[in-house]
Every structure is written in C-alpha cells, then in structure tokens.
Structure 1
Amino acid sequence: MDHFLYKTGVLHAEDVPLAEIAAQVGTPFYVYSTATLTRHFRLFQEALAGTNHLVCFAVKALSNVAVLRVLAGLGAGMDVVSGGEYRRARAAGVPGDRIVFSGVGKTRDEMALVLSEGIRQINVESLEELHVLSEVAHGLGATAPIALRVNPDVDAKTHEKIATGRKEDKFGVPIARAREIYAQAAHLPGIRVVGVDVHIGSQLTDLAPFEMAFTKIADLTRELRADGHTITRLDLGGGLGIPYTRSNETPPLPLDYGAMIRRVLGDLDVEIEIEPGRLIAGNAGLLVASVIYTKPGEGRDFLILDAAMNDLIRPAMYGAHHDIVPVLEAQAATEQRPVDIVGPVCESGDTFAKARPMPPLDAGALVAFRSAGAYGAVMSSEYNTRPLIPEVLVDGDQFAVIRARPTFDEILARDTLPTWLAS
C-alpha cells in the first residue's frame, strides 16, 4: 500500500496534487510520502514485536537527510556502507550507537571516523579488513564492536547484480572459515566480538532462501558459543522485495518474515538486527516527468520524456520494471496503445519501457513512475550535464523541496582550469 492515489482525476501524493508540485518545482522530480515511509517502517516493528530487535534502515536505498530524519524519529537505526552515509545519518540526528557500518571496502579513514564519533557495530567482510580494523582501533585507543559477515552460499534467486550470498560473490567470508576467523578476532587488540552478520541479496520474493541462510547462521551461532565467543546479536541484513507491478508480484509480507525469524532463531536469545531499505522506501516514492515529444517511428511509437537514465538508472542497469501512469487519470474507455517510453540521453539504453500500453498523451502531459523511492535518486548522476533533479517530501497537505535542482552555474563552478589554461 502507498499514499499515491487519484483524487478527482488527479494523482496525489497524500493530499497534495502532483500537478501542483510540478508547477512550483518543475519536472522531473522525485516525491516521497511521509505516511508511506511511516507505515512501511512500522510493518517491520510489528513483525518483530515482542522480540529484542532493532530495525536499521538501509541508507543506500534512499539517503536524503530529511527522509532519514523521518525514520529516525520513528525509532529507526541506520545501516550505512560508507563514511558519507555515516555522516548523513549523523546529520539526521541518529546517534552512533544506532548505526551499523557495513560494506566490503571500508577504508582506514572511514574506520577512524566511526570509531571516533560512535558506532553500534562494524560488520567485517574479510580477515584482511579485521586486521586493519584492529590496527586502527588500537591506534585510537578504541574498541571496535564487530560482527563477521558470513557468506552462507545461498542463492537468493534474485537478479544477478544484487545477489550477495553465493560463494562466488564478493561479500563476506565463507561460512566454513568463520570459526577460524572468529578465533583470531578474539585475540586481536581493539576488537570485541558481538555478533554474526549475513545478507544474501536484494529484492527477494520468497522466504525460502532467507530461511536456509538463517538456519545456517543459527547453527554457526551455537558452534561459536561452544567455542567460547559471546554472541549477543544476529544481523540478518535486508533484501525483502516489493511489488513493482500491481498485477502478478506477491512478495512475502513483513509479518511472515518476522514469524520465520522467530521460528528459526527464537531459541538463541539474541538481539535481532534487520536492515530493510527497498521495502520501506520503494513504494514511498515516485519519479514525476513531463512528455517532451510524441514521436511516430517505423513499427513503434515513442514517448520522449524529460527524465532520463541518469535520473532513474534501474531500467537501463537491471532491466527493471516500473509502472508508469499519467498524472491526469485516463478515462476507463480510453484506448491504450503500445509505446516505447524513453528519455533524451544520447544512448539507446535510455529506455524506460518498450511497447508499454499507454493512453494518448500530448507534449506537456505529466507521468509518474511508481515504486521509485528506492535506488532512484541515490543512483542518479549528471551524465550529459543534466542537473540532479529535486527531491520533494510530502506530509499530509504540505510539501517541501528537500534537495534543490542545481543551476548550471553551480555545476560549471565545480570545474577548475589549470593555470596553463586559465589565461
């Protein structure tokens, strides 16, 4: 469920007509619903109610500080994968003891940053990283609370580019080596073992891979405790999928996910950390664009928008589907015809949909990409010197720009000429 509904024939974000935002902000833009963010976060809280747990929002899904402030106010922790994301979480008012630092390539500077300013836990991805973290922590006179990310060799049955739990993936340490590495961690200066971490991928639409991975982690936890380690937390990552179409996708509900966690891990007396991103943010955001041209072609017609692959790269990168709907609701009897929906970037890959049935739309008409809140704005770029597009947050009948569109003067001012070209 989301809070983007047609009212009197116009698509609204909560109680704000999208056409009103477009008139003030210009297109394209992202818009997020506070009510949807709130509802989806609370679904996870309800799913784990009665257990010792922390829901950490995966900042990589949607990192705007205003959105993070909304979630922090609801009690969310944060899962970050870079020093920059850590700074965003802190800027949103999240204390260090509610931030988990993940990621396969942490630098010494990033380690020093989080150890100096406060961190709940660092999820270590390799033996090499563990030794570097020990050196950094010892040098600072600090202690790093760690969980080792274990690769359980479970195929998440998701897109090739977002599967992370198979033995051929770059993430974590092989589960067969986990006890050996934990034994080393126990004797390293500046290191305190607190838990085990696992994350097998994103956009999972079946609970079976989760259950297989969590079962392996439960067995490992018992073995580690038998070895003398104090394991108080299990970080289960994120990955629960969302329906990108309104017809045939039925991912598991958070309540079912929570019930499975209790069944598999409930006897271990551990704190559960989960790190959802997509399910909280995905359906909480739209990308709104304008039609520039309608263009008839040989054997196909094109709808050319002012949004492009640099604004929403998921279709070009993953072949991802987004429902695309007119902001002005089409009449039920309106005939729809297949069109290729494309952007203005000078690449054939700048295609959002092929042969997508759409009602007739003229230049200037507004369209909305549904389920664009996760991995949309965060993956955008200024390719073709196209400015990053605004982000807008709606709360009831009010809205605010939470990231402004830069001017071309601001973009060009970032470039500098060397002295030999300056004259």
Structure 2
Amino acid sequence: MFENLQERLERSFKILKGEGKITEINIAETLKDIRRALLDADVSYRVAKDFCDKVKVTAMGQNVLTAVKPQQMMVKIVHDELASFMGSSSQDISIKGNPGIVLVAGLNGSGKTTFSAKLAANIRSKRGMKVLLAACDTFRPAAIEQLKVLGEGIGVPVYTEDGVKDPISIARNAIARAKAEGYSVVIIDTAGRLAVDQELMDEISALHDAVRPTESLFVVDAMTGQDAVETAKAFNERLDFDGVVLTKMDGDTRGGAALSIKYVTGKPIKFVSTGEKMEALDVFHPERIADRILGMGDVVSLVEKAQEQFDEKQARETRKKLAKDKFGLMDFYNQIQQVKKMGNIKDLAGMIPGMGKALKDVDIDNDAAFKGIEAIIMSMTPQERDNPEIINGSRRKRIADGSGTNIAEVNKLLKQFEATRKLMKTALTGNLAQRMRGMRR
C-alpha cells in the first residue's frame, strides 16, 4: 500500500537536500516532482494541484529554524497536508438508535457483502452489541447465500425472505425483527449499482428514505483510483452518505482514492478493508496513513492490533511457565497463532519505521511462512512438546518424516525455540527486577 508513492515523494524531498533555506526556486522544482508523484498515484490533476498550492503557501510562510533543515521542514508540511486532505482525524460511525441502522451501498464487485459481514463482526466483538444482517441484494443470485455463509462463520444471524424481490420490504421486516428480538444494530447489504442506472439509483434512494439509516456507508474498490472518486461523488449527490469504505487496500492500489475522496466529496473515509479475512477491517486514521506514505511506519496501529489479539489469561500462564522453565513448544505454537491473527506479516512489518521499504520486493505468505514450523510441532508427541530436550537423533528423524520436512529444518526450529524462550525469560526477569527496584525506592 502506497509503496510507489512513498518512493516518489522521497525522491522529491531530496531536491532540497543541502539547501540552506526554502526559496521560490527550489520549492518550485520540489513541488513539480511531488505533483508528478501524486498524478502517478492516480490522484486527479485538480486535487494534486490544490495540494501542491497549499504546501507552497505553508512552506513559504514558514520561518525555518536553524536547527531544522528545509528538507525536514518540507516532509513535515507534506505530512500535515496529506493528513488534512484525507480528513485530519478518524471518524466513528453512528449506530445509536433502537436499533441503529447501517445502510451499505456501492458498485458491483466493490466488496459490499464481505464488508457488511466484517462490520458486523467488528461491532459485535469490539462494542459487544447484538447485530443482525439483512440480505437486501435481490439482484445478484449468489449474494444472499454469500451473506448467509459469512454470517454463519462469524456467528451473526442473517435476515432473508425467500422469493421476495422488494428490498424495502425485506429491510423493514428485518428492522421489525431486530426491535422485537432486542438487536442493537441492523446492517443492510444492498445490491451493487451504477450511478448511470437511473432505476437502481431511484431504488437505493427510496430504500434510504424508507429505513432512515443512522449511518449510510458507500463502499469503494480502492484499486479503481480516480474512477472510485468520481463514482463516490455521483452517489453522494443522490444519497448524501455519511462515510466511505475503501476495500481491497491490500491489492495493487496506488493510493489515489484514499488521497482524493475526502477532498472531492467532503465525506470522510471511515474504514479500510485489507483482505478477505473477517478481521481485516481497520478504522481509517488519516495521520497514521500519512505516516505510512512518508515511510514513518505506524507503530500505534501495530500496538492496537497486538492488543486486540492479546489474551490476558494466556499471557499470565505464559509468564508462570517461563518463570518455572515450563514454556514448551505447544506454548510457542499458540504464540504463532496469535501473531497470525494480527494480519499479513508484510503489512505488520510495514508499520515498523524503515521495514516497509526493506521488504518492498519480498513476498510473504502468512500460511507459507509458518506452515513448516506448525507441521513440525504437530508431528511431535505431547511429551516432546513439553520437554524438547528429550528430542534425540531418532526422534528428530521421525518428526521430520512426519511433518514432510528434513532434520535440518527440525534442528533450526529447536534452535529458534530455545533462543525465543531465553529472550522471553530475560525480558520477564528484567521486568521483575525493575519492579523490585521500584518497590525498594
């Protein structure tokens, strides 16, 4: 995400390297290069021009401190303007009501149905609210079945009506059921439609008026770039939606939609979807995205992801086992499962400053990265997992054969495990020692 734009902007800032101050001449060359970088990222010419104009006004009005180099000052100004263009701060969705009603609209193939299920899972797990999904896409034959399957996978019920083609009737009945059965939120998945299809646009407008949603979200495929922005603008003129959702942000997206859509429509981006898994839905934070575009990482989001998967009870058990030298390979296996739940390893690494660039050309598959390790551990007996020191030569051969690996890979895992166990124990011991020193003070 934004890799090419990041590289182009870094080149643009280098124009100011060695300059003593920002002048009309050197900033003109820098901004020309920034504008090209934005256009290559599929940002519209008008948005790119307005962006550079704002950067110029801010830069020329700055009194650059002697301790701050012009190049550093330009990075700060561009960062702030990027965040401003994308909305400055995150925007929450409104789901207050009895029940709260979220209407999901968008084009065919934009990922509305998958997003509806992801949002349901997100609201239920993070807010503890009872959610009902309403299948109101009566045009696409597989849409209702797809929502049923997704709903079953996340444990959220889906309201459907066999043979009924009127989405307004289905939505109203779903809301009535939600009121009767104590659901806090109804998420209405609608059919995909084109802005030029007058009949379908009239239908979504009528549905919007009939259910009076507390939140209307427009789902956009981020890979469509400028087209996504123009489509969102056309839909907004009819629906006056509350926010935008960018899907497929893990694909070959250049970033144009993320950078332009708020500026053009005036409506905030509220969520970004970065994969097919139900957990792959993030709140959109403009400042953090600006950090990532400029190669500064996103440590806050990384910590938040870790906290979401953090099992406090399991962590206490791990600490006890480490203290008693009882931390085994099955515990190591469980730690791997928690890391995998956090998301794609390459995306996570990109949140660490400098790591995204280092891994730019590296293709990391989560399942493939851990598959061999998991197979080796699961090929061991319970006794071997609890006491790795008993794994002798013959046991290593049996484990290698059973896991479809070789003895060298088994040896490598055992060395990695031992190093990890020592590192974790050292960290734990250090924390305990620090606490003891604090208590003595």
The alignment's TM-score, normalised by the length of structure 2, stands at: 0.31
Higher strand proportion (structure 1 or 2): 1
Structure whose alpha-carbon radius of gyration is higher: 2
Higher helix proportion (structure 1 or 2): 2
The alignment's TM-score, normalised by the length of structure 1, stands at: 0.32
- Structure with greater contact order relative to length (CA < 8 Å, sep ≥ 6): 1
